[in-house]
Amino acid sequence: LDPSRIRNFSIVAHIDHGKSTLADRLLEVTGTVTLREMKEQLLDDMDLERERGITIKSHAVSMRVDRDGEEYELNLIDTPGHVDFQYEVSRSLTCCEGALLLVDAFQGVEAQTVANAYKAIEHDLEIIPILNKIDLVHARPDEVKEEIETTLGLDATEAIGCSAKTGQNCAAVIDAIIDRVPPPKGNNDAPLQAMVFDSVYDEYRGAIIYLRLMNGMVRPGDRIKFLQAGTEHEVLEVGQLTPKRTQRDFLSTGQVGYMICNIKSLGNVHIGDTVTTARGKQAEPLPGYDEPKRMVFCGLYPSDGHDFENLREALGKLQVNDPSFVFEPETSDALGFGFRCGFLGLLHMEIVQQRLEQESDMDLVQTAPNVTYKIQTNDGVWNEVHTPTRVPDASDIKEFQQPVVRVNFVMPAEYIGGVMKLCSDRRGVFVRQEYLSPQRSMLVYDISLAEVVYDMHDRLKSITRGYGTMDYEMKGYEAGDLVRLDILVKGDRVDALSIICDKRDADPRGRAVIKKLKEEIPRHMFEVPLQAAIGTRIVARETISAMSKNVTAKCYGGDISRKKKLWAKQKEGKKRMKSIGNVDIPQKAFLAVLETG
């Protein structure tokens, strides 16, 4: 296939603006999928994605279009919409020459519209603004065009209005892709040079590698080499997703498709690696991708210590399909043997946990999530700390650093004051404010990631009655005034309950946690004193009084937010308790440290 007939593009959008629906419509308009085959939102093929209406993994679908007697190949590379999976967005954009910037014609420009559009601009892509949902009576396409122009500096005069739901004007989107997205460059006669942008694991075929060919060709029987990994393999099969896996005789320059070699583990496939030929002249390595960064960590412990090996096996299985999730064994005085797990963000954490629960029948205790800190001890050595228990004594800390993110908030102008207050309460540093239109505003703050991951999104939604959106990207590590806050139950420090927080927040946090614990821990036959301490200084205390004979135990009271309920979700009919000393502590109590007071 002549590269001049190929168009590689992505759709970037804020969540819920209609990306999956538009993708379905394009597959239908091009006849890639017949109406009969059409299941709603074909691209979101993982159950969890469907359930939550989000796209996690990126996929690449090939469509053939005949226009004026000329055949074109359009490759749609799907990108996830959630901030946790931002690194996958960059990865997909590297394989494209153009992007559809899809904006809901009623909602207008939102935080992830801005973040994703900037990424597409950084990658030098041809950007085609699309206003979706013009079937809605309240659609305001002209104002939204203006928002696109003011915020992003893009020319929106030729923006296409369409409805992915009714199909109205979707054919014009296909024309725009052919006319405006540049064809890929490259040369079929040059040595093979292809970028690995994704991989999935298939039980029968092993690793299935998704590629974008920059130069050259690849066909079954070829010996190929991964330049970064240094490994060589024989190609067994190549093909494209249409959207089913469809074998091809070869893939050529500019094309996007899959390759199967006999590779038995995803651990041997590096996203961002360059594939070239193992024989003859080899290509230069392409600039690779950054490793996905694990931003959030938590401990996972089996309630029943005998399940430790089962848990290891279950985590290992999950990792085969999702190398961005990491885990390593750790021990806790309180919880025994378990694992410290690293995730891209909170949503990723929830997804992994949910899979774990669906796929295994274990009772798990999860500790409160925390971010990664950097600590320099007096001897000058820097360490990364993924768990509060690894924080050395305050007297041995020279510098304590925490990750800081730059957050964009987009909201109706009337909520600016509320969001500013939220940010300053969380010690955010104001960066700038912009008006997208007289009614809508964008605020930019630098805030510690720990503050953002705990409940910023929920707080924003409640302050703005659901109209505010946010997005963030890593800015770097900055020194903070941080301390480790310990919790003592009946005089013993419970390591799994320690947290790291700003020194100025330690007293109120301590009080809030103790108060919550008092609600969560059932009464015993004896008094249970609870204390919060920084080093030897006690900052808060409460006592759970002993059960009197005729009173049935006061159990798990207290109201907690929806999200915390989800984290603490108890399996029906099973009690998740951990006995520490001789005090029974329910799973929910281990999340009490999320209380911010």
Annotated binding site for GTP: 16-21, 132-135
CB-based closest residue to ligand GDP: 18
Q: Collect all residues with Cβ–Cβ distance below 8 Å to 307 and sequence separation of at least 6.
A: 362, 363
Residue with tokens 């519209």: 113
Query: Beta strand pairing status for 482-489 and 492-493?
Result: antiparallel
- When CB distances are held under 5 to 8 angstroms depending on the partner's kind, the choice from ligand GDP, Mg ion, none that residue 312 binds is none
**Taking the complex as a whole, how short is the minimal distance between the CB of residue 52 and ligand GDP, in angstroms?**
10
Cβ-based nearer residue to ligand GDP, 174 or 196: 174
Residue 196: name its binding partner from Mg ion, ligand GDP, none (Cβ under 5 to 8 Å by kind): none
Instruction: Judge contact between 530 and 541, C-beta under 8 A.
Output: yes
| 3-state DSSP assignment of residue 455 | helix
Q: Which residues of 36-49 are buried (b: 16+ CB within 10 A; e: fewer)?
A: eeeeebbbbeeeeb
Tell me the closest approach of the beta carbon of residue 82 to ligand GDP, in angstroms.
9
Q: Does 303 bind Mg ion (CB under 5 A)?
A: no
Question: Minimal distance in Å, beta carbon 40 to ligand GDP?
Answer: 8
Rg (CA), the chain: 26
**Inter-CA distances, 361 with 41, 311, 364, 571, Å:** 30, 10, 9, 10
Residue 21 interacts with which of ligand GDP, Mg ion, none, CB < 5 to 8 Å by class: ligand GDP
**Of 17-25, 71-79, 241-249, 277-285: span binding Mg ion (CB under 5 A):** 17-25
Task: Give one word for 508, left, alpha or beta, with left for phi > 0 and alpha for psi -120 to 50.
Answer: alpha
Lookup: tokens for 416: 């600016």
Q: Locate tokens 């707080």: which residue? A: 459
Annotated binding site: 16-21, 132-135
Residues that bind ligand GDP (CB under 6 A): 13, 15-21, 53, 81, 132-133, 135-136, 163-165
Instruction: From the list Mg ion, ligand GDP, none, pick the one residue 165 interacts with, judged by a Cβ distance below 5 to 8 Å according to partner type.
Output: ligand GDP
Q: Which is nearer to Mg ion, 79 or 389 (CB)?
A: 79
Query: Which CB, 102 or 344, lies closer to ligand GDP?
Result: 102
Cα torsion angle, 237, 241, 247, 251, sign: negative
Of 10 and 372, which has the nearer Cβ to ligand GDP? Answer: 10
In the bound complex, what is the minimum distance in angstroms from residue 45's beta carbon to Mg ion? Answer: 11
In the window 53-82, what residues touch Mg ion (CB under 5 A)? 55
Task: List CB contacts of 493: < 8 A, sequence separation 6 or more.
Answer: 333, 486, 487, 533
Q: For residue 137, which phi and psi values (nearest 5 degrees)?
A: -65, -30
Could you say which DSSP state residue 217 is in? Answer: -
Work out how close the CB of 78 gets to ligand GDP at its nearest, in angstroms, rounded to a whole number.
9
Give 138 or 432: the residue with its C-beta nearer to ligand GDP: 138
If one asks whether residue 20 binds Mg ion (CB under 5 A), the answer comes out as: yes
Region from 48-56, 98-106, 181-189, 465-473 binding Mg ion, contact rule CB under 5 A: 48-56
CB 77, min distance to ligand GDP, A: 14
Q: Which residues are at the interface with Mg ion (CB under 5 A)?
A: 20, 55
